[in-house]
Structure 1
Amino acid sequence: MYSSSIFTKVSKIARSLDTGINRRLAPHGIYESQWVMLNAIHDLGPTTVTNLSNALIIKPPTVTKTINRLEKLGYVKRVAGKNKKEREIALTDLSREKLGFWNGLVKHYHESLLQSYSAEELRQLESLVDRFLLKVEELEDVTKEKF
């Protein structure tokens, strides 16, 4: 059964989560989009703009703009890549130092959002979200899209 309100609500949830995370991170000089990118670099290790773009499903110019800002803040640095033509982006000691604190702020926020749900409700929610995401990826092939 089709209901456009589901999609409206999913979009609203995504925007509200971004806003909530920004409210917690902004006083510490970082924003949700930057935090997401730093975590991706942490998880991937030194990586290219192209790899980040594909991993986060964000267009390369947007990744480059965010990386440039993070570099000015001292949170990332450009290092020699696997081939000499392409430089990779790596975390600095400063960002590694701060990432745990920022992740703790976001974790606390996430936990406060989920505290009123039972373990079973959370399992059901995660299962439904996983299925929904798989379907979106299947239909749109977003994980393989080249911008």
Structure 2
Amino acid sequence: MNIEQKFFDTYMEIYRPYINRANRILSAYGLYSSQWLILKDIEKHGKTSSVDVSRRRGIEKPTATKVIKHLLELGFIESNPGEDRRIKHLTMTESGEALFVEVRAKMNELQREVLGDFEHEELEGLVDALGRIKL
């Protein structure tokens, strides 16, 4: 097996179990990892559009629309018309912000547990290396 295959095999061995553990935490809040990632994106960027969310997350617009609709139904985000009526701006609601703080703490705890054997410098190196992958 070449090193490239080994890299992607190793990545896949950790990706799914991590998502499963994350979903166990998120399910207590009626969320799944895909919804959490979009909620994180909206929290990070503030007022944004579904087009921008889908572009940044690398997902198809219909998929983003479906997830955003669910977050709207849960009352975690709201949609307001922009100057151009074709564009709707998404923002977090107060309940979405409160939920975000609570869930982020639990997710941070999971991530610290998963990465507990790594030194800070090792993690910085991994982040830098993964950031150089061209997809």
Same fold (TM over 0.5): yes
1:132 to partner: Cα distance: 3.1
Q: TM-score, normalised by structure 1?
A: 0.82
Q: Distance in 2 between matches of 1:46 and 1:58?
A: 19
SS in 2 for 1:89: strand
Which residue does the alignment assign to 1:2? 3
CA deviation string 1:66-107 (max 9, x = no partner): 001111111111112242321111111110111100001100
Which residue does the alignment assign to 2:133? 135
Amino acid in structure 1 at the alignment position of 2:87: E
Which residue does the alignment assign to 1:90? 91
Structure 1 vs Structure 2 CA RMSD: 1.7
SS in 2 for 1:16: helix
Structure with the greater relative contact order (CA < 8 A, sep ≥ 6): 1 or 2?
1
Which residue does the alignment assign to 2:17? 16
1:129 to partner: Cα distance: 3.8
Q: TM-score, normalised by structure 2?
A: 0.89
Q: Distance in 1 between matches of 2:62 and 2:53?
A: 11
Structure 2 residue runs without a partner (length 5+): none
Q: Distance in 2 between matches of 1:132 and 1:39?
A: 20
Which residue does the alignment assign to 1:29? 30
Which residue does the alignment assign to 1:44? 45
Q: Distance in 2 between matches of 1:101 and 1:126?
A: 26
Kept after mapping to 2: 8 A contact 1:25/1:105: no
Which residue does the alignment assign to 2:110? 109
Kept after mapping to 2: 8 A contact 1:34/1:70: yes
Amino acid in structure 2 at the alignment position of 1:124: E
Q: Distance in 2 between matches of 1:125 and 1:77?
A: 35
Which residue does the alignment assign to 1:68? 69
Equivalent pairs: percent with the same residue? 25
Structure 1 residue runs without a partner (length 5+): 141-147
CA deviation string 1:12-36 (max 9, x = no partner): 2222211111111112222211111
Q: Distance in 2 between matches of 1:68 and 1:113?
A: 31
Instruction: Find out whether 1:126 has 2:127 as its counterpart.
Output: no
